[in-house]
Amino acid sequence: MNHRDTKFGSIYNTEEALIAFDALLSEAKASSSKVFFLVDENTHEQCLTRLLPELPNLGEYELLEVPPGEESKSIEVAAQLWSALAELGANRQSILVNVGGGMITDLGGFIASTYMRGIRFCHIPTSLLGMVDASIGGKTAVDVAGVKNLVGAFAACEGVFLIPDFLETLPERELRSGFAEMLKHGLIRDASHYSDLIRTGFEKVTPDQVRASMNIKLDVVESDPLEAGARKELNFGHTLGHALESHFLEAYPHDPLLHGEAIAFGMWLELELSVLSGLLDAEIAKAIQSDIASIFGRLALPESEWESVTSWLKYDKKNTNHSVRFVLLENVGKAVIDCSVDPSLIRRAYENWQAS
Ligand SMILES: O=C(O)C(=O)C[C@@H](O)[C@H](O)[C@H](O)COP(=O)(O)O
């Protein structure tokens, strides 16, 4: 089978994914393990209804549904789901199947790894971001007090079943959001992956490119599963990106930035910081920043809002002794972790961004 076994579960690709998932269901049926699907309203309608008829071994199952959007990735929704699992008779033999984007796989992974101190779970990522990033590597989390992924745990799932056909169900904005994480993989580890993606564009992303991006993430995660060092590279664009995302969730709850959009702007800013810190050639940064702007547009952010954005930096998990640590680039494909940056440079990066 064309799959890759990892410390955080096996990854099954394309044609093999349905067969492998059906085999898991068959095993669950044989051992009378109760199966629960976690979906949001969109993935229920557009993905689960397409998936279920393809599964000859699907027996009885229970459905858990949450509203779409980052607001569902909360401790309150997690508590409702724990209660629902208990009421529906979930036990240590049960398996939770998370069908959705990053919000569903982060949330579902979190409730499964904590319910009864951990039940089996697997992911069927339906968004580009879920496929190349969120479903891989065992990070589970909910947002607390507005802080992205503040509470969670590393937990291994039974498997990630990758069905690229689900990309057809995605609105353009979601596809573009996931593309940001693919660009990130190229920027931190593989210049040719980056150029290939820029040549293709997010609208025409191919299953091969999805697999290539996923494999970059897997290589990083396998080398440092618990983020003691190299895995921090995957946080390029996320220090300021998460701060932007938290600010928008708080200030514009009905029109927040998507995760990948925030990360794209975060990467623009952290490229600028890489130049201002003397690590990266300004021309190289300018070319990538122009790629980012042509895909994600520009974001006008008044100074008063920038103050709010920077106030979220104190919660970043990479901080050391209360000092913010960035992941910067010294070249395309070469990231540097644990970079401390003078606050005046962060301010200049913002000013240059707004003037660009
Ligand atoms: O898997 C990782 O490690 C990452 O940092 C990948 C990120 O793209 C991803 O968004 C992750 O969920 C962010 O994690 P966090 O540790 O910064 O909350």
- In this prediction, residue 194 carries a pLDDT of 98
Is there a contact between 10 and 24 (Cβ–Cβ < 8 Å)? no
- In this prediction, residue 10 carries a pLDDT of 87
**Four-CA torsion 47, 40, 119, 84, nearest 10 degrees:** -130
Which band of pLDDT confidence, cut at 50, 70 and 90, is reported for residue 2? low
Is there a contact between 70 and 96 (Cβ–Cβ < 8 Å)? no
- In the chain, the domains with their CATH numbers are 3-169 (3.40.50.1970), 172-355 (1.20.1090.10)
In sequence order, what DSSP letters do the residues of 313-327 get, joined into one string? GGG-TT-BTTB-EEE
Q: Which helix (H) or strand (E) holds 150?
A: strand 147-154
Q: Is the pTM of this model over 0.90?
A: yes
pLDDT digits (tens, 9 = 90+) for 222-278: 999 999 999 999 999 999 999 999 999 999 999 999 999 999 999 999 999 999 999
Of 110, 133, 179, 219, best ligand 1 pocket probe by most atoms within 8 Å of the beta carbon: 133
What's the chain's average pLDDT? 96
Is the model more confident about 90 or about 10? 90
pLDDT digits (tens, 9 = 90+) for 25-49: 999 999 999 999 999 999 999 999 9
pLDDT at 1 over 60: no
Q: How far apart are the CA of 64 and the centre of ligand 1, in A?
A: 25
Q: Which helix (H) or strand (E) holds 66?
A: strand 61-66
Distance (Å, whole) CA 81 – CA 76: 9
The pocket around ligand 1, CB under 6 angstroms, is made up of 133, 137, 139, 148-149, 181, 227, 231, 234-235, 238, 317
Of 238, 242, 318, best ligand 1 pocket probe by most atoms within 8 Å of the beta carbon: 238
Is there a contact between 88 and 36 (Cβ–Cβ < 8 Å)? yes
